[in-house]
Structure 1
Amino acid sequence: MRILVVDDDLLAGEMIAAILQEDGHEILLASDAMDAMTQVDHHEDIAVIVSDMHMPLIDGIELYRTLQEQGIHLPFILLTGNAPEFIDAEKIGLTACLMKDADMDVTLRDAISSILNH
């Protein structure tokens, strides 16, 4: 499965990509929301977007909303350094909102697995 990872922190993006590549997924990296939108336009086979919440100019939630407005309805996992319970993922329509913490490799894999099983 091709997954787009969006993170303005190159090291964080590469770490997330490595976790997902271990499970056999093909990863595209985007350094910000504008780059992500370009990637989505150029790669019709993207199955999931995993995005950082806090990025300059356009944050992860605004990226999600922009894609929705453009008719792009891909599973969208938001990653945040803040407590995710402050973000009502279900109300917004996100697939998941996960904490960037020591357990992220497990929670991210679980969220991807849940998407694959639907």
Structure 2
Amino acid sequence: MAGTSSSEIHIAEFPPNLNVLVIDTDPGALEVIEKSCKENSHQVVICSESSRAVDVLLKKEIDIRLIIMELHMPMMDGYEFLQFLNKEEIDIPFVMMSEDSTWFSMTKAFHLGAIYYFLKPFNNDKRLDLWAPLLRHYYDRLNKKDDETSDGSEFASDGESDGEAEADDTLHKKDDTLIKKE
């Protein structure tokens, strides 16, 4: 709807028990992500190999609602994995993570469809904000559905960085169950 203001959008309570696919070989990062997911009652599917993650997605036995992947993985890196998702038309929000904080790496990830980019290493006591990338994903999708353009100002940073970057656009879309319009 043209002219819809953000005050007319009501965010449903973030549903618990989402299945999150995590692809990484770093035990420390996996521990932080698993802790963050479990605090919000989300289930974690951990794959230490990209090929195993491909199998999980192609078999469709588990309804994966978010993918978090290390950029630098053996055999299939994060960029190749995003290309696989695009080729197979798998529409799941994707978060890239890496120690590589270069403009090139982040831009390439966003161009291929990542909706967020976590910078590593994580503090073991840090809790990752998984709500932000998902909220942004569904908010952007709602705006695209309404044929409006979003400049992202509602999510603009106050100038401080918490080691996370987000995309202005997304290719991997699942559904609008997290946002209700009245």
Q: What TM-score, normalized to structure 2?
A: 0.56
Q: Aligned AA for 1:83?
A: S
Q: CA shift at 1:60, angstroms?
A: 1.0
Shift of 1:90: 3.1
- Work out the CA distance in 1 between the residues paired with 2:20 and 2:102: 21
- What corresponds to 1:82 in structure 2? 100
TM-score (ref. length: structure 1): 0.82
Partner of 2:75: 57
Q: Structure 2: give runs of 5+ residues left out of the alignment.
A: 1-17, 139-177
Q: Percent identity?
A: 25
Check if 1:110 corresponds to 2:127: no
Residues 84 and 98 in structure 1, CA contact (< 8 A), matched pair in contact too: no
Could you say which residue in structure 1 is the equivalent of 2:23?
6
Counterpart CA distance in 2 for 1:31 and 1:114 is 27
Which runs of no fewer than 5 residues in structure 1 stay unpaired? none
Amino acid at match of 1:35: R
For residues 3 and 84 of structure 1, the distance between their equivalents in structure 2, rounded to whole angstroms, comes to 26
State how many pairs are aligned. Answer: 118
Output the amino acid matched with 1:2. Answer: N
Contact 1:52/1:60, CA 8 A, preserved across alignment: yes
1:16 aligns with 2:33: yes
C-alpha root-mean-square deviation of aligned residues, in Å? Answer: 2.3
Equivalent in the alignment of 1:72? 90
Which structure has more helix as a fraction of its residues? 1
